[in-house]
A and B are shown apart, each in its own frame.
Chain A
Amino acid sequence: MNLFLSALATAIAFSAYTAVGSLGFSLQYATTNVLNLAYGDLMIIAGYITFTVHNRGVNFFVAAVAGVLATCVGSYLFSRWLLIPAVRRGMSQAAIILLTLGVSISVEAFIDMIWGANAASFGLPANAFLRAGTFTWTSEDFASVVSAVVLLAGTYVLLEKTALGRSMRAIASNKELAMTCGIATDRVMTISWVVSGLLCGIAGVLLSAETVSFNAVTGFTFTVVIVAAAFVGGIGQMGGAVLGALVVGFVSQFAAAYSNPAYVDVFAFGLLALVLVVRPTGIISDVASQRELVA
């Protein structure tokens, strides 16, 4: 029971910031149809900018805003200069994935050059925010859960209840048709990328705070966790991203807690491989994605 409660606490917090990240990832995938393996590296940029600004003596929340904005701008430029032109040129999926990998290792190298390979840490006071038996949440855990709930609700309202969100979904399901119907595709896609950049940045700050000490490689490892969440749930769908984050978070945290705590990633990545092999469309799937994704 003790083990169960502590695993539950970790699993909820882990799923929360993974959900924020995978939501942004899914949004990118839906609008551009590109598997962006540099996503985690863009996330960790937010962590490093926050770290630097915070170290200058600025209030942590102001620093976090700066970090999120940096990632948001980075994600926008990355899409504008590289990904969208690549898609427009008709580059193959394989080439685009390799392109994002090139960006990923370059970003890691530049982070190492600027900040050094030593792990960075926000140095936030470590105190239990909420405690009930062995169910312990730090203030970071609590912040993750609250931001996840707010952001998921906000994204849901944006996508489902506004005209802008309807245009975004229209572009995601059929770009040509959306264009023909008079949707300002370019502007809406820019907004999609800014929104996904914001989610990416916030997830990055949360990840950096939650892992306590992070380095350049933290980003890439987390990319695979996010890919796992997005694909297990059903890629390109907002509900799938959240469900996937919960499934990956709970399965990996509980399995690791009951076997070997070092195996969190092993279970997350193993689950990803298993789901893709057994049911490539993920848990939530529609006919369109089935036709498009599976050969």
Chain B
Amino acid sequence: MSYYASILLTYFFIDVIAALGLDIQVGLSGILNFGFILFQAAGAYTVALVTLGPPSKWLGTQTYFAGWSLPFPLPLILAIVVGVLLSFLAGLLVLRRLRSSYQAIVLLSLMLVCYDVVISTRSLFNGTTGLGSIPPPLQSSLGLGFTGYQWAFTGFCGVICIVVFLLMKRIYRSPFGRLLAASREGEEAAGSLGTNVFRLRMVSMMLGGGLGGLSGGLLVGAVAAWSPNSWSFFETIIYFAAITLGGVGNSYGTVLGVAVLQIGIMEGVTYLPQFGPPGFVDYLQQAIIGVALILVLWLRPQGIFPERRPRLLGSPKRQPRLPSRSTALSSSTVTGGVS
């Protein structure tokens, strides 16, 4: 039971880190990143490659390229670096001239291309089977025993998660965050006031990508394995459903969405006794995520906790209700009755 609780809690912290990374791209900047899981996978594979040691060690049971055994903090740092670099490259492709739905398609196809290449090229990351027996960080040198180590790792993820959360809250209210939101609402207007929208969005893209890479690196530490199953497009949809439910552009909403959908529906149920025909629970989970996404977008597109408007110092506590109030997903402009 204690083991179960620590595993769930670890997943929760890691998913919050990833979802915060996605939310700064989607919620704050309006970049519809359908390829998000690619950055998580990049971080995970990076950590796997630099901790597994030389491939010859496995006598052909798993094949991959490179293969080092770097000491503890380095793999995680590399995971972040790879996530940032990859999102920089993706940003160069999509942030210059494409509108959000086009960005979504390009990012989705980039992710699917990488996915198919990884699956059908065994020499990269062991193909469909994926990599296993990845040594969790510092497990041997801490000497805490099995459960003790689990809880230590959970605490480690928790600390990182809290730091990231506070950082995000700060960013959302900072001038940088306000400029991002302004460019999302009116790109031309923000640009005409001298904002370099491309550079702003690139920074937000790289921040999100770095957090994605970090979450991947931590996940590999938690489950000691990584395969294409862990990063199908469906995983991206779950993150999208989570931030949509909680409220895009709101860090508290992100935490709530992850707690309800990722932990409550996805991970929590996985450890319960199965019922129905084989695989039924998986399909039920998927159906719930899909229906939840539809219902939230239909009934409350701004999510449970809507994005907050920044309050200026010295302005009255209760601001007059502004007539137009929109987030990345709920637009306030009503485009006539014609359709």
Contacts and interface: CB of A to CB of B under 8 A. Distances in A.
Interface of A: 32, 35, 82, 84, 86-95, 97-99, 101-110, 112-113, 116-117, 175-176, 179, 185, 220-221, 224, 227-228, 231, 260, 262-263, 265-266, 269-270, 272-273, 276-277, 280, 293-295
A60 B279 CA distance: 30
A293 B99 contact: yes
Nearest to A82: B294
Contacts of B329: 92, 94-95, 98
B333 A90 contact: yes
A120 B196 CA distance: 52
B152 interface: no
**Looking at chain A's contact residues, is the secondary structure mostly helix, strand, loop, or mixed?**
helix
B113 A270 contact: yes
Given A91-B301, A94-B100, A277-B93, A105 B289 contact: yes
Interface in B239-258: 240-241, 244
Interface in B290-335: 290-294, 297-298, 301, 326, 328-335
B328 A90 contact: no
Contacts of B244: 98
Contacts of A88: 337, 339
A129 to B, nearest CB: 30
A99 B292 CA distance: 10
Contacts of B113: 266, 269-270, 273
B106 A277 contact: yes
Contact of B109 (A93, A98, A185, A269): A269
A270 to B, nearest CB: 5
Interface secondary structure of B, over-half rule: helix
B120 A90 contact: no
21 contacts: A87-B335, A91-B301, A92-B328, A94-B26, A94-B32, A95-B330, A98-B240, A102-B241, A102-B291, A106-B290, A107-B290, A109-B286, A110-B287, A113-B283, A117-B279, A179-B338, A185-B338, A266-B113, A266-B120, A294-B98, A295-B187
Interface string B40-80: 00000000000000000000000000000000000000000
Interface in B86-124: 93-94, 97-102, 104-106, 108-110, 112-113, 116-117, 120
CB-CB nearest 3 A-B residue pairs:
A106-B290, A102-B293, A109-B287
> Residue among B99, B116, B330, B334 with the most chain A CB within 10 A?
B116
Contacts of B100: 93-94
Most central of B112, B237, B331 by chain A CB within 10 Å: B112
B301 to A, nearest CB: 6
Interface residues of B, number: 59
Given A92-B330, A97-B32, A272 B237 contact: no
A90 B334 contact: yes
A276 to B, nearest CB: 5
Contacts of A89: 334
B297 A276 contact: no
B156 interface: no
A276 B339 contact: no
A78 B330 CA distance: 21
B290 A263 contact: no
Contact of B331 (A91, A104, A175, A228): A91
Contacts of B117: 263, 266
Nearest to A295: B99
Contacts of B280: 113
A92 B331 contact: yes
Given A224-B108, A265-B112, A295-B187, A94 B291 contact: no
Contacts of B293: 98-99, 101-102, 105
Contact of B101 (A97, A228, A260): A97
Contacts of A220: 233
A3 B92 CA distance: 37
Interface string B214-255: 000000000000000000011001001100100000000000
Contact of A294 (B97, B298, B332): B97
A69 to B, nearest CB: 24
A270 B111 CA distance: 10
B255 to A, nearest CB: 20
A102 B105 contact: no
